[in-house]
Structure 1
């Protein structure tokens, strides 16, 4: 079985060296970059060569380019790649910024290396499960759905209204598909999280809130569509009949 490819961006030499060795012991192939610009270039080159990284581990505080900016550059190249932030700061603002960027996890230093390995494996399992769900959805006879005035292409990850085409990430497409399949039904938060994120922990819950905000913006031009929240209970994807 092929090892998972990890991009590690960490400017602390001693800490980065330890992480690289520990991950390699646990059967990850690691490309270690010492600053944000080096990591961006490594990711871009690998992508252009067709050697995709499976996951990125990004330190927040780095020279030349910080981890948040690096994540934005990485997402521009490959919006589906999962990533984790490492930081020595416990500031709420950092966690919020990471969530807005779509981070899959956020680990505060110091931490045990085996914690990172466990979280990487969990994220990669969820990522693999998501790809399997998309494959099943794409193999169905219908992959394009009329949702109000929109056309949702589950296979190509697009949402179209008139001449406007909104490209979707894989997770956005999964969430829309799940909502549409259960339209006008109250969905419990934990059920959505388990189905799409693979778990219902605090971090995934905050990430889901960011994705819900995005979907509300995507569907804002059709008053027949809304995503209603029942505080502390769940969400309802409301679609009025034409």
Structure 2
């Protein structure tokens, strides 16, 4: 992988550089938001993964993340935060970060998260390449979704502005209507986290996904209290 790490703590960058080299990954390090964003914008297609500190001099991490998502909806993005504040983490996910890691963190944990996101991105790319033009991967009387175009429609209206993880989450649920998925199952299926992961990640994405669905029609993601979530569009045409 080719990594862009935007991190103002040089000791953290130096530590991670050793781990990246051990994985055979190339890494570029920037120490403030302004130069980090400039490095991304210079060649957006270059990067396989971005890690972005929340508290940066110059442009803060949230601002940089917004700018990155304006250019690329798909580049895997992990936010690093020294604050264990749920509001910060949820805001980062709402902006379009695929995941967050709270400082202080284990380098092995960050490496594992990065590998999981990269695997997931590669799997999505392979499926898209194999899809036929105009083919919908899920299609019901009220709902349809295409991996090729990364678009979802409810009652023929586009569900606009889906982030990569929101799209993947909706696809996972919609492929098995009425099946209840626990948060742990969704972390494994959508984020590829088998042994670790914060369930708030799932809840934050569900919240934003529901808001975007409700702009075009009835809610099709339902909470099964004490268990998890399910997709059910049977009442969407009512």
TM interval, shorter chain, is 0.7 to 0.9
Matches within 5 A, 1:1-242: 4-47=1-44, 50-51=45-46, 53-135=47-129, 138-139=131-132, 142-143=135-136, 146-149=139-142, 151-160=144-153, 166-199=160-193, 203-220=197-214, 221-223=216-218, 225-240=219-234
Structure 1 vs Structure 2 CA RMSD: 3.0
Contact kept, 8 Å, 2:8 with 2:57, in 1: the verdict is yes
Contact kept, 8 Å, 1:99 with 1:206, in 2: the verdict is no
Question: Rg larger in 1 or in 2?
Answer: 1
Per-residue CA deviation, residues 117-141 of structure 1 (Å, 9 max, x unaligned), is 33322332233233334445x2598
How far 1:208 sits from its partner (Å)? Answer: 2.1
CA 21–80 in structure 1, closer or farther in 2 if over 3 Å, else same: same
TM-score (norm 1): 0.79
Per-residue CA deviation, residues 173-231 of structure 1 (Å, 9 max, x unaligned), is 333333333223333443333222212667453222222223323332333x5221112
Q: Secondary structure at the match of 1:239?
A: coil
CA 127–12 in structure 1, closer or farther in 2 if over 3 Å, else same: same
How far 1:149 sits from its partner (Å)? Answer: 4.9
CA 231–238 in structure 1, closer or farther in 2 if over 3 Å, else same: same
Q: Secondary structure at the match of 1:166?
A: coil
CA 202–95 in structure 1, closer or farther in 2 if over 3 Å, else same: farther
How far 1:158 sits from its partner (Å)? Answer: 1.9
Q: Secondary structure at the match of 1:207?
A: helix
Question: Structure 2 unaligned runs (5+)?
Answer: none
How far 1:60 sits from its partner (Å)? Answer: 1.6
TM-score (norm 2): 0.80
Per-residue CA deviation, residues 2-48 of structure 1 (Å, 9 max, x unaligned), is xx01001112334323333442243111111121011111101112x
Q: Secondary structure at the match of 2:172?
A: helix
Rounded Cα–Cα distance in structure 1 between residues aligned with 2:192 and 2:175? 18
Rounded Cα–Cα distance in structure 2 between residues aligned with 1:200 and 1:231? 23
Per-residue CA deviation, residues 79-129 of structure 1 (Å, 9 max, x unaligned), is 112222223333333223233334344333334434433332233223323
CA 68–185 in structure 1, closer or farther in 2 if over 3 Å, else same: same
